[in-house]
Amino acid sequence: MAEETQTIKAEDSSSKPFALKAILGQKVGMTHIFSDHGTSIPVSVIYTGGCVATALRTPEKDGYAAVQLGMGDVKEKNLDKAVLGQFKKNNVAPKRWLREFRVSDATKFEVGQKVNPDVFKVGDYVDVSGTTIGKGFAGVMKRHNFRGLPASHGASDKERSPGSSGGGSGQPQRVLKGTRMAGRLGTAWFTVQKMEIVRADNENSLILVKGAIPGVTQNMVVVQETVKHIKHKRALIAQKTSVKKTANVKKEAPKAAAKK
């Protein structure tokens, strides 16, 4: 009987609507779909299957309220014992990626609760975060958009160089901390804000977002409600006539009253 009650509770928690507009996903790639009017819309496909709430943080125990989401299957031998012990303590299958989201009240969520794509609706705006594509060692023109040196007087080997990096007049004669130089480009956490949800497919666990999202395929991305102002449709306003044009318009003489 105890096993039956546990399975029933797990089913209820998975069917319960999720109270947070956030989900973890895996980038599948890009494609395009057609709207009802025949317009081609470029979309990024995100797979969200297996995203569940793996742990809860409470102010009494942890000092803050948050819900931890996990996504992606992983073998137990590939996890540390400390991390694996947390999953076993909460009776949750091990997950590859974990992210925490601050909430006002953690009691609204349950451990093991499944997160479906229907937390978002078509037309919602979200912020998508992920690790950008690594591009290796890059110069200052590609990495920081430097314009380069003048391509004149035979300076063929210095056109793409950064120029002087030492201190100038009145500055210390050393390279200051934070000076923009050549170095590794990419592999950084990046967020694309205010992206539109085009489709949320619960059956196939897919979310289609208009535009490109950061990262390579099969990488983890975080999709959550945008922090930007929500876009509103503007009503058409009648065109106003300028004051000069109205001043130049001659007033018509009043019509004479008809004689009896």
Confidence of residue 143 (pLDDT cuts 50, 70, 90): very high
* Tokens 């540390």, residue located: 80
pLDDT of residue 2: 42
Mean pLDDT of 89-102: 94
Q: Of 18-22, 63-67, 184-188, give the lowest mean pLDDT range.
A: 18-22
How do strand 40-47 and strand 206-210 relate by DSSP bridges?
A: antiparallel
Confidence of residue 7 (pLDDT cuts 50, 70, 90): very low
Residue 15 pLDDT exceeds 90: no
Confidence of residue 75 (pLDDT cuts 50, 70, 90): very high
pLDDT in tens, 99-113: 999 999 998 899 999
Identify the three-state secondary structure at position 141: helix
pLDDT in tens, 242-257: 555 545 545 555 565 5
Q: From CA 12, how far away is CA 8, in angstroms rounded? A: 6
SS3 labels along 180-214 = CCCEEECCCEEEEEEEEEEEEECCCCEEEEECCCC
Q: Of 51-55, 83-87, 154-158, give the lowest mean pLDDT range.
A: 154-158
Could you tell me the CA-to-CA distances from 181 to 133, 145, 162, 163 in Å, in that order?
A: 20, 11, 7, 10
Going by C-beta distance under 8 Å and a sequence separation of 6 or more, which residues neighbour residue 174?
A: 166, 167
Residue 8 pLDDT exceeds 50: no
Confidence of residue 88 (pLDDT cuts 50, 70, 90): very high
Residues 179, 180, 181: CA angle, nearest 5 degrees: 110
Question: 131: which strand partners?
Answer: 189
pLDDT in tens, 161-176: 998 888 777 888 889 8
* Domain chopping of the chain, boundaries: 2-134+188-229, 138-169+177-185
Residue 16 pLDDT exceeds 50: yes
Confidence of residue 154 (pLDDT cuts 50, 70, 90): confident
Supply the pTM of this predicted model: 0.76
229: tokens are 């102002």
Residue 98 pLDDT exceeds 90: yes
| Mean pLDDT over each residue of the chain, to the nearest integer | 85
Could you tell me the CA-to-CA distances from 103 to 81, 107, 224 in Å, in that order?
A: 28, 10, 13
Top CATH class of 2-134+188-229 equals mainly beta
Rg (CA), the chain: 29
Confidence of residue 216 (pLDDT cuts 50, 70, 90): very high
Question: 67: which strand partners?
Answer: 56, 101
Residue 233 pLDDT exceeds 70: no
Could you tell me the CA-to-CA distances from 58 to 64, 104, 162, 248 in Å, in that order?
A: 6, 10, 50, 72
